[in-house]
Chain A
């Protein structure tokens, strides 16, 4: 049975959530099937957290419909809570409670035996920290504990909101390994992140979100196939170039220049076809090249091309200034 044939465990239909001046979620549709690992990729403020909190039943949408396992939140809250595992963007627990005590509290909430807490300790690799106060844990350990709490009911649906934000690469990888192990259990996962590698490493389906809307969606393969022909030329020059210098060159999709005009990036269909023309143009105009980088687009570049902003909150301007 393939993913497409399975029934949707999460269905989101035309969900909107507006705050005063911000359309946090602006008409979003989403179907997630059992066992799928879905990444919501986007920069800060893209609306990822608002969307997952609506799915989690923590926030109410202004309009639209949410169904989890064919049930709406209204009237099914306690039932759905039992089946979900949630790790919020920031998770604090009581400073002076020990790791095992925190797990035991949540085990009680989910009506699980305390032996489950011990299993969780093993899963998150924190047996040696079982008696540590929460306040004495490192950032990575706190996140692993938050993940452990999310797993305590062996959830059918797991929603992790930026589980590795702010962690060092080692700590991040530890979390990834735990999450990857869960694939065997047929858990359904929604993960929000602004790390491209995280989405690539963990999820088979990636949704790129910006300003409350989905701007690209598909399996990693689909996205790559759809955008693989796009490539990127990054350059800097000794003196500014004219805005329209690269217009009318065959194969150029879009050009961005930095403010000074002495650097930028050109999205092209093929580097091998377009680069010689670009170099020739520069030469004809007597502009000397300082630095040059050519590469296939990654998800971050794709996001840049789609929105003019980078996933890590840097702008196209920063990218165009790469040489500086």
Chain B
């Protein structure tokens, strides 16, 4: 039993790593995707620093004039010869500022009070970008040591305030789904279409072990995939996991079981890889669109959100996101994880019953 499991898992590893295209799609594609989307949403845009401004009586304008005058009089050029300063101001209200933060448009917003003598800086102290913007702004607005003013940094933690923070858990969820649907579902359909499944089933191979080996192989490969994407996101974008790693592991395992079950069901009867392609796409594409990989599903109508939040991929992504961004622990992910495991068990049981080995 153990030997069969071991040799099946190892041979799946070999099969996996000997297919360069697969490696591209599994490792490179998500990285490239996150890079493109990250860039597209201006994460690394060093040119200007957009700052949200809450300024009821228009005092900022006065402050800026004073600052400009001062900076013109000193030889040190603050930003570059062509531009006077690196800031772009987005005048808004508190709600607008928070939304802009979450959407990744700004990293900091200021509140100008007491006729411009006091400025409250709202930003995430953990964000080095935001800290830098704070220092630059403070230094620009109140240069020298003569200015009389009051500055008050206000720690503001808005999880998922950057797009990349939002995106990475989505991509990780998508990877788990794709890994299951293609790595298990499509692989089994291909085995059947090539009559290899029937050849194996005509031997005393333990069929449950055979199916189980796919889940185990996906779990192990999934860890590698997960690390590849996460480490990239960590080092390149500074995406961090706020919550419990154990909870993340539970979500990861339960979601692999869930998508393993769905993949078994998808692959239970079909003998044509083309049909398989169609079925897998038909199942996974809607999940990809609505489950909030790239954008929040809360934009959908209320009634739809009620359904979407219970879709397997949504449960996976929401759980990963809550761990990454909101610091969630085991209690918060227990319900979705249990639901995913039940889903996996139910789908696997049905598949085993109707699975066409020959």
Interface residues as binary, B194-206 with A (CB distance below 8 Å gives 1, 0 otherwise): 1110111111110
A109 to B209, CA, bound (A): 11
Query: Size range of the interface on B?
Result: 20 to 34
- On whether the beta carbons of A58 and B11 are closer than 8 Å, the reply is no
CB B271 to nearest CB in A, in angstroms, measures: 13
The CA of A104 and the CA of B3, in the complex, are separated in Å by 11
Residues of A within 8 A of B (CB-CB), count: 28
Query: Is B8 part of the binding interface, using a Cβ–Cβ cutoff of 8 Å?
Result: yes
Chain A CB within 8 A of B46 CB:
no
A101 contacts which chain B residues (CB < 8 A)? 11, 14
**A78 at interface, CB cutoff 8 A:** yes
User: Quick check: A96 and B202 within 8 Å, CB to CB?
Assistant: no
**Cα–Cα distance between A97 and B200 once the two chains are bound (Å):** 15
Q: Which of A81, A88, A96, A149 contacts B19 (CB 8 A)?
A: A96
Q: Is A93 an interface residue (CB 8 A)?
A: yes
Please give me the residue from chain B that is nearest to A96 by CB atom: B18
Tell me the minimal C-beta distance from B240 to chain A in angstroms. 38
Q: Is A245 an interface residue, CB under 8 A from the partner?
A: no
Cβ of B14 and Cβ of A58 under 8 Å apart? no
Asked whether A56 lies within 8 Å of B202 as measured between CB atoms, the reply is yes
Q: Assuming A93-B196, A97-B15, is B7 touching A58 (CB within 8 A)? A: no
Assess the A91–B204 pair: CB atoms within 8 A: no
Chain B residues with Cβ below 8 Å from A111 are 204
Flag whether A1 is at the interface (Cβ < 8 A).
no
Report A251 CB to chain B, min CB distance, Å.
49
Query: Which residues of chain A have C-beta atoms less than 8 A from B300's C-beta?
Result: none
Is A268 on the interface with B (CB-CB < 8 A)?
Answer: no
Whether B358 lies near A81 (C-beta < 8 A) is no
Q: Say yes or no: is A215 at the interface (Cβ < 8 Å to chain B).
A: no
Chain B CB within 8 A of A216 CB: no
Q: Does A59 contact B (CB under 8 A)?
A: yes
A110 CB contact (under 8 Å) in B8, B194, B204: B204
Task: List residues of chain B with CB within 8 A of the CB of A57.
Answer: 202
The residues of B that contact A56 with a CB separation of less than 8 Å are 202
A58 touches B198 (CB 8 A): yes
With a cutoff of 8 Å between Cβ atoms, the chain B residues found around residue A133 in the complex are 18
- The chain B residue with its CB closest to the CB of A59 is B358
Closest to A86 in B: B202
B 5-40 contacts with A by CB, 8 A: 7-8, 11, 14-15, 18-19
**Is B4 in the interface zone, CB < 8 Å from A?**
yes
Interface string of B164-207 (1 = CB under 8 A from A): 00000000000000000000000000000011101111111100
Question: Closest Cβ of chain A: how far from B8's Cβ, in Å?
Answer: 7
Cα(A133)–Cα(B19), bound, Å: 12
Q: Are A96 and B15 in contact (CB under 8 A)?
A: yes
How would residues 105 to 145 of chain A score, 1 for a CB under 8 Å from any chain B CB and 0 otherwise?
Answer: 11011110000000000000000000001000000000000
Q: Which of B7, B14, B15 has the most CB of A within 10 A?
A: B7
Are B205 and A88 neighbours in the complex by a CB distance under 8 Å?
Answer: no
Q: A88-B195, A108-B3 are in contact. Are A97 and B14 (CB under 8 A)?
A: yes
User: Quick one: which of A58, A82, A94, A110 contacts B196, CB cutoff 8 A?
Assistant: A94
Asked if residues B199 and A91 are in contact (CB atoms below 8 Å), the reply is yes
Chain B residues closer than 8 Å to A108, beta-carbon distance: 3-4, 7-8
- By beta carbon, the residue of chain A nearest B204 is A81
| Selected A-B contacts with CB under 8 Å, 21 pairs | A81-B202, A82-B204, A84-B202, A86-B199, A86-B203, A88-B199, A91-B196, A92-B196, A94-B11, A96-B14, A96-B15, A96-B18, A97-B15, A101-B14, A108-B4, A109-B4, A109-B200, A110-B203, A110-B204, A111-B204, A149-B199
The 10 A-B residue pairs with the shortest CB-CB distance, nearest first, are A96-B18, A92-B194, A81-B204, A109-B205, A109-B203, A108-B7, A86-B202, A58-B358, A82-B204, A108-B4
**Contacts beyond the supplied A96-B14, A109-B204: 4 A-B pairs with Cβ under 8 Å:** A91-B199, A94-B196, A105-B7, A105-B11
